């Protein structure tokens, strides 16, 4: 998939995601400065391996996928139908 097809609205260009790694290898992922998820254990290791050699745009995409904040409009509606 082409990069232009992935981020059609160029939202990731603004670098909305950031992360911080703690001494015990926990990864805190932030969106616009607000903490949105914490990775630990195997998920943390996988994330760090993916992001290690990624450029800025790729890193943003990895963080978007990990947080589930990849495509808006796919949020589930918890309302039950009667």
Q: Are 2 and 8 in contact (CB under 8 A)?
A: no
**Model confidence pLDDT, tens digit, residues 26-77:** 999 999 999 999 999 999 999 999 999 999 989 998 998 999 865 555 445 5
Is residue 72 domain-resident? no
Is residue 73 domain-resident? no
Is residue 49 domain-resident? yes
- Residue 19's domain comprises 3-67
Is residue 79 domain-resident? no
Is residue 62 domain-resident? yes
Reported pTM: 0.72
21: nearest Cα among 49, 2, 1, 61 = 49
Q: Are 27 and 40 in contact (CB under 8 A)?
A: yes
**What's the total number of domains in the chain?**
1
Is residue 9 domain-resident? yes
Is residue 18 domain-resident? yes
């Amino acid at each position: 998939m082409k990069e232009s097809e992935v981020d059609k609205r160029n939202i990731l260009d603004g670098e909305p995601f950031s992360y911080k790694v703690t001494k015990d290898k926990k990864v805190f992922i932030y969106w616009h400065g607000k903490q949105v998820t914490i990775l630990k254990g195997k998920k943390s290791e996988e994330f760090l391996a993916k992001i290690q050699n990624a450029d800025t745009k790729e890193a943003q995409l990895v963080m978007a996928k990990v947080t589930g904040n990849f495509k808006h409009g796919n949020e589930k509606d918890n309302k039950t139908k009667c």
